[in-house]
Structure 1
Amino acid sequence: MSQSTTTLFWFRQDLRFADNAALAAEITSGASIVPVFIWAPQEEGDWGPAAASRWWLHHALASFAEQWAAKGARLVLRQGNSLEELRTLIASTGATRVVWNRRYESPQREFDIEIKRELRSEGIEVDSYNSRLLIEPHAVATGTGKPYQVYTPYWKKVKDWPLDAVAEPDLEALRFPEEFPDSLALEQFNLLPQHAWDRGFYEQWSVSEADAIQCLEGFLAGGIQDYASARDRPDVCGTSQLSPYLYWGQIGPRQIVSRLKATCDLSQPGPATFLKEIYWREFAYHVLYHFPHTASHPLRAEYEDFPWVRNSTVLRAWQTGHTGYPIVDAGMRQLWQVGWMHNRVRMIVSSFLVKHLLHDWRDGARWFWETLVDADLASNTLGWQWSGGCGADAAPYFRIFNPILQGQKFDPEGEYVKRYLPELRRLPAKYIHKPWDAPESVLTSADVLLGRDYPRPIVEHRIGRERALAALKRFKS
């Protein structure tokens, strides 16, 4: 069906044409390319793509398939054991090579190593490339040869590290076989939710490589200049919102850094801060690569025995945005409605769960994994262990965010809260972050009855803080 120069290109989290190192190399070689995506969630371990991430993947694959069709090719979709599906495709296409861009999580990277070994033993050429990170985790070490566990020294080590140039595939030189193997229909993956809880996603997100580029360019043309301060304000559009595009590889970090350096003055606070956030993502992958157990266990092993208080009723109140703290509840409802949450609010809600409620950080990490369209295991793990005080570069456990003060500082007029808690929209800004302090006349005028229209606090701030500090003191002793 094809010539001996046919290559299977196995796509995973690199669903783009631009800055795709493996694709650029194969086009240059002159091989005929068969693009393949294999849905194999059983190979992802405990952290396979969950509900919101699957929604994104469905639309990313639909868009990517359209891109290939416009080039005269078919994105071949298969489901099952990856090695067996690759073998079947090799037999049906006569392919002599298989290529992919590398993954860094466990067990995915172990699967890739095994598949590479097996195919090579069968006489198939296999090559892998880096298109997902600026700097691969194994390339960086401390002066003693150990992995970094604190961001600042990691940043100092890598900030001037020479980066690979953005890969520029010559798409006009793409070659394909005369025929393509059979493909499943995307709908057979069953990635979309059975119940229409995702309606808000469609209003928030457009999912394609072109949308990723537009998102980046729009941010660099506007929000980047105020990013250093605006990134903490959930009431304004002050962040890039590139994270879901990055996770599924509709844009790569090299593209972002290249455009950032080409269009912005890195001596200015906004661009400089944004660059450090890109490297924070790199640090997250560095930590997870070297300490894969941290997805489910604390990096600081002593915290394995921390006296968490697991309470399903309390957890459900937090998940659904009914804690009685408006900034916390607005964040959790934003997460449910659009599959994303502002980063400052992520820190507030995670601190509240772990500190005020003494609930195990792993339950929070799992909920984020289920509900975030940008559910990235490295970033999710690093963030939650930071909040829990038990991981790399962690915030001290005694650092406890005051949700009232956080709301007043970063959502001063309550615009963010009112957007996601419409039941409080008529409250004046003075009381929006502590409605329990509002006089009865104000509550009546705003048509708010606490305990009916909006819950009273699930725990009083002072009590929650003191309980957390006491638990830490007992744990330390």
Structure 2
Amino acid sequence: MTSLLWLRQDLRLHDHPALTAAAHAGAVIPVYVLDDEAPGAWRMGGAQRWWLHHSLTPLSKSLKEKGSKLILRRGNAAEVLADLATETGAETIHAIRHYEPWWRKLEDALGDRLCLHDGNHLAPPEQVTTGSGGQYRIYSSFWKALQQQLPPDDPLPMPRSIPAPDTWPKSDRLADWNLLPTSPDWSGGFDWTPGEAAALAKVKSLDINDYDTARNMPSQEGSSRLSPHLHFGEVSPRTVWQATGRGDTTFRKELAWRDFTSGVIRALPRYGEENGRPAFDKLPWRTGAEARRDLKAWQQGRTGYPIVDAGMRQLWTTGWMHNRVRMITASFLIKHLLIDWREGERWFWDTLVDADYGNNAVNWQWVAGTGVDANMFGRIMAPLSQSAKFDAGDYIRQWVPELAGLADDVIHDPEGAGCRPRDYPAPLIGHREARERALAAGRKVR
């Protein structure tokens, strides 16, 4: 019997339940479908497309080493897979379950021929539910419930070989998909090595002994930098869990947060577009020419707030941003500039190599205070004091070279210290003024 293996955000051979099941049943035809139709507005962003190209290349090589082959097709995934099943005589389509709303619609469209497997979570969201069977909307309650189902099962081994069909269907050429930037090529600063081998090597070298502290220090390499590998499924969460042993609980809770956000978008599929708290539909976001100017300055890292500008320039250059700085830059856009969180979410979607629908939406709404589990809108991060508190001087020097010559005691706030260089912009707005404006807007929601 021949089966199709539908690959999406699970670009690996190790700990792949759908692959294991398909290989046990008979011949396997691995397929990746580039579907720019079904996601609609959530079509994969530019940075993700760069990663996808460089992830599919080693995956194709790994499959070849196992006696198999990666088939590439483009179009509506449900239609492409249905046609391919008819063409090859495949009776079953094996796949790992996904929770983004467009993937769920495609899964429904494939009907009974699709056999779904769990494999991208510590525990399937369907299993971690409230007493009434609903998804948890408060992370602390979710974490408490999830722990009752931990540790996860041991990862499945990589198959020694993959049964091949007698004949292979035609495949697109990856180069013809034009996933990589052309003119201008903005990916020159991307210092990543996508693919399963790189992901497993990173897991093997993990050091999380000081993670709880180091992850908050922008000038240190305290993050695992596993997020894009996890997003594209080049390594499974339970593989990472097993590798951490009895390590830092904070790190493991970050893995659990990914599971939590999948549960949120399972319950609220439009969470990336709609406020989790409808009362915030009344919040008077700034619009118009001045707001658009400020949004562009934020995107380009020209706000006059060094920690914010360093983060936004790191994002554009590398396709990634330090976790603590993500919160600071998001809070600045929402609270200081009073610009709709969805503008920032969309920018991150296009520029982050690890842009994930659930994570991105839940994190932005957490900062905005508009979500089901979120900070109060009135909690406004102070970027200048946050920069000093987390010792971001060297981080700023790396990404904002105009300030590289400033001393530690003034680099966080050169305007306030009276030593702002001429080639560095003045702050778009003062912190106190921004705070008062945000609080006034928040009062209108109440």
Shared fold per TM-score greater than 0.5: yes
Further displaced range: 56-65 or 143-152: 143-152
Q: Distance in 2 between matches of 1:340 and 1:52?
A: 9
The higher radius of gyration belongs to 1
Structure 2 counterpart SS, 1:41? coil
1:63-120 per-residue CA deviation (whole Å, 9 max, x = no partner) reads 11111122232201011122332233223322222111111110210211111x2xx4
1:98 pairs with 93, 100, 103, which one? 93
Structure 1 counterpart SS, 2:9? coil
Q: Is the 8 A contact 2:36 2:76 kept in 1?
A: no
**Cα distance change of structure 1 residues 306 and 170 upon mapping to structure 2, 3 Å threshold:** closer
Q: Could you tell me which residue of structure 1 aligns to residue 428 of structure 2?
A: 458
1:167 shift after superposition:
4.1
Q: Could you tell me which residue of structure 1 aligns to residue 242 of structure 2?
A: 258
Instruction: Give, as a single letter, the amino acid of the residue that structure 2 aligns with 1:151.
Output: Y
Residue 211 in structure 1 maps to residue 198 in structure 2: yes
Q: Could you tell me which residue of structure 1 aligns to residue 376 of structure 2?
A: 396
Which of structure 1's runs of 4+ aligned residues deviate more than 4 A?
none
Q: Which runs of 5+ in 1 are unaligned?
A: none
Q: Is the 8 A contact 2:67 2:163 kept in 1?
A: no
Q: Distance in 1 between matches of 2:309 and 2:98?
A: 35
Q: Distance in 1 between matches of 2:401 and 2:158?
A: 50
Q: Could you tell me which residue of structure 1 aligns to residue 210 of structure 2?
A: 226
1:10 pairs with 6, 11, 36, which one? 6
Q: Distance in 1 between matches of 2:440 and 2:139?
A: 29
Q: Distance in 2 between matches of 1:170 and 1:398?
A: 49
Residue 469 in structure 1 maps to residue 410 in structure 2: no
Q: Could you tell me which residue of structure 2 aligns to residue 22 of structure 1?
A: 18
Instruction: Give, as a single letter, the amino acid of the residue that structure 2 aligns with 1:101.
Output: I
Q: Is the 8 A contact 1:27 1:169 kept in 2?
A: no
Structure 1 counterpart SS, 2:317? helix
Residue 156 in structure 1 maps to residue 144 in structure 2: yes
- TM-score, reference length from structure 1: 0.90
Q: Distance in 2 between matches of 1:57 and 1:95?
A: 26
Q: Is the 8 A contact 2:88 2:169 kept in 1?
A: yes
1:170 shift after superposition:
5.4
1:305 shift after superposition:
1.5
Q: Distance in 2 between matches of 1:164 and 1:461?
A: 45
1:280-322 per-residue CA deviation (whole Å, 9 max, x = no partner) reads 1111111111011211011101101111112110100000000
Percentage identity across paired residues of the two chains: 41
Instruction: Give, as a single letter, the amino acid of the residue that structure 1 aligns with 2:90.
Output: A
Residue 199 in structure 1 maps to residue 188 in structure 2: yes
1:254 shift after superposition:
1.1
Q: Distance in 2 between matches of 1:346 and 1:302?
A: 25
Q: Could you tell me which residue of structure 1 aligns to residue 283 of structure 2?
A: 306
Q: Distance in 1 between matches of 2:355 and 2:414?
A: 32
Q: Could you tell me which residue of structure 2 aligns to residue 64 of structure 1?
A: 59
Residue 53 in structure 1 maps to residue 48 in structure 2: yes
Structure 2 counterpart SS, 1:324? coil
Q: Distance in 2 between matches of 1:83 and 1:283?
A: 27
1:438 shift after superposition:
3.3
Structure 2 counterpart SS, 1:10? strand
Q: Is the 8 A contact 2:14 2:159 kept in 1?
A: no
1:383-421 per-residue CA deviation (whole Å, 9 max, x = no partner) reads 100111010220111111111100001125x10001100
- TM-score, reference length from structure 2: 0.96
1:173 shift after superposition:
4.2
Instruction: Give, as a single letter, the amino acid of the residue that structure 1 aligns with 2:7.
Output: F
Instruction: Give, as a single letter, the amino acid of the residue that structure 2 aligns with 1:312.
Output: R
Q: Which runs of 5+ in 2 are unaligned?
A: none
Structure 1 counterpart SS, 2:73? strand
Q: Is the 8 A contact 1:348 1:401 kept in 2?
A: yes
Q: Distance in 2 between matches of 1:274 and 1:164?
A: 15
Residue 345 in structure 1 maps to residue 325 in structure 2: yes
Residue 362 in structure 1 maps to residue 358 in structure 2: no
Q: Is the 8 A contact 1:9 1:98 kept in 2?
A: yes
1:402-452 per-residue CA deviation (whole Å, 9 max, x = no partner) reads 11100001125x100011001110111111011113345xx6xxxx22xxx
Residue 279 in structure 1 maps to residue 256 in structure 2: yes
Q: Distance in 1 between matches of 2:417 and 2:54?
A: 45
Q: Could you tell me which residue of structure 2 aligns to residue 183 of structure 1?
A: 171
Q: Could you tell me which residue of structure 2 aligns to residue 380 of structure 1?
A: 360
